[in-house]
Amino acid sequence: MPLPKPVYYPPFNITRASHVVLTSRDLAKSRDFYEQVIGLVLSDSDADTLYFRGLEEMCHHSLVIKRADKVESEAIGFRVLTEEELDKAAHFFKSKGLPARWIEVPHQGRTLLVNDPAGTPVQFCATMTTRPRQYTQFANFKGGAAMRFDHYQVPVTDVQAQTDFYAEMGFRISEYMALDEKLIATFMFRKQGTQDIVFLENPGPRLHHFAYSVTDSHSILRACDIAGNLGLGDCVERGPGRHGPCGVLFVYFRDPDGHRVELFCDHYMLVDIEVEPIGWDVRKPGLSLRWGLPPQECWFTEATHFSGVPVAELEGKRGPMMSLERYLAEKAAARSRT
């Protein structure tokens, strides 16, 4: 299980995870959910598209939702430092024999659409139009008051190959999970937080979730309370709780179309080159959750498909992650023996 060495001078300069593009069957329900529960700011809208951003964000959007009959994700997105980096990115992907083409995207500057080795559709852009930050407009805070876009989790069948490729693009590993010397999850970052993208061994590529940071635990609880007030209490899929990896407080929601979104706070920062990746053995307790109950089985198996991208299946079984159903069955079996 070789971990790739950091590439401090990559072929082009990615700065952070920036946005995700989803589809929805009902934009009105999506708008209510993301404004009232998650607490995002609506930057723009028309009959067929919603553009949201976090309260700290001045760039036009970090979440785009388009009206469609089929629920899926069109792409995830990363920012690069300058326009020149986009040309370097196009050269890099073409040199690897991977698809890369220029597309027009409203409110974004020049945008490159590529597919990574697993097939994940990725947009790169250097600029967006801007709107005023809202992070000091406290009277307008709603729900979880999501501050800024943070990361995605993308299940793939070959975590090692995906990790090696993203390392070549300059991503570093903050933490990873291994089973019998095999990588089954990596947390990779470009900005100074613990992750911009997470790869987990599972059928893919699919979009497992995307995440926004919040300022404190009260924001997480308030989002849950607002969901309950709106009759959406069952959209709280997992948590609140605290992860083992990265140690963050979290809650996962399923939006009206089933897309999974996380609110979290308190991850640590990575700046210096001396920082080494932290390894986790998936057999040890406390990996997925430091306290609380484990997630439902659907948290491991369900994810959003990418538009037009086939999902590869795993050969053999995935790692031994504890689900709520398995946990309760084992507890019941233990009680019956006493």
> What pLDDT score does 234 carry?
94
Q: What integer pLDDT is reported at residue 289 of this predicted model?
A: 65
Asked if 3 contacts 277 with a C-beta cutoff of 8 angstroms, the reply is yes
Which string of b and e fits 28-56 if b means at least 16 CB within 10 Å? eebbebbbbbbbbbebbeeeebbbbbbbb
Mean pLDDT, consecutive 10-residue segments, the chain of 338 residues?
92 98 98 98 97 98 98 98 98 98 98 98 98 95 98 97 98 92 94 96 97 96 97 94 83 98 91 89 66 85 97 76 83 84
Distance in Å from the first CA to the final CA of the chain? 42
pLDDT value of position 317: 63
* Half-sphere exposure in the Cβ direction for 34 (13 Å, CA): 32
SS (H, E, C) 157-211: CCHHHHHHHHHHCCCEEEEEEEECCEEEEEEEECCCCCCCEEEEECCECEECEEE
